[in-house]
Amino acid sequence: MISSEAKKEIDFWVSKYPEGRESSAVMQALTIVQKENGGSLNPDLINEVAEYLEMPAISVQEVATFYENYNHKPVGKHVVRFCHNISCMLNGSDELISYLEEKLEVKTGQVSKNGLVSVKKVECLGACVGGPMCQIGDQYYEHLTKEKLDNILEDLT
């Protein structure tokens, strides 16, 4: 269920668009609802967003499944979104993702045993010059190495 606080946040984004264009706020709405739901969406929440924005549920579903920003199964407190697109791959992302999986004892898409971290492979995050890179929350981490990853993981609480 979408809380009244979340609805207020969604209304803020809706107010940025002309009347009748409420659906333009769908990505923000999904982001807000996902955050409120511990980092993932489910069909009920997607339907609620559709209802709230007066959109067909299938249109919201299309957005929610097209973009990699949205998770459709439970995630850890922190999601390491690791780019595996061309620039990052050529600079060693595959090796680092394997290192991360081994260190956390998870496969991509899974949550670490302590529930703290999950790893997700994503397409280009627009920071190709900094590859290999990942995103955790709102923060980008670039020019990654195993040592940098160790330090980043140590700081996650």
Site residues for ligand FES, 60-79, by CB under 6 A, read none
Name the DSSP class of 24. Answer: G
Site residues for ligand FES, 83-102, by CB under 6 A, read 83, 85-88
Nearest distance from C-beta of residue 119 to ligand FES, angstroms: 15
Looking at the Cβ atoms of 5 and 123, the one nearer to ligand FES is: 123
Give the 3-state secondary structure of residue 82.
strand
Nearest distance from C-beta of residue 150 to ligand FES, angstroms: 21
Site residues for ligand FES, 110-129, by CB under 6 A, read 124-128
Compute the distance between CA of residue 81 and CA of residue 105 in angstroms, rounded to an integer. Answer: 16
Nearest distance from C-beta of residue 121 to ligand FES, angstroms: 11
Contact 101, 151 (CB under 8 A): no
Looking at the Cβ atoms of 39 and 131, the one nearer to ligand FES is: 131
Is the bond into 18 cis (omega within 30 degrees of 0)? no
Looking at the Cβ atoms of 70 and 82, the one nearer to ligand FES is: 82
Looking at the Cβ atoms of 86 and 113, the one nearer to ligand FES is: 86
Q: Report residue 59 as tokens.
A: 């249109």
- Which residue in this structure is represented by tokens 């980092």? 39
Q: Report residue 148 as tokens.
A: 């940098």
Please report how many Cα atoms fall inside a 13 Å half-sphere around the Cα of residue 139, on the Cβ side: 8
- Residues that bind ligand FES in the complex, under the rule CB under 6 A: 83, 85-88, 124-128, 131, 133
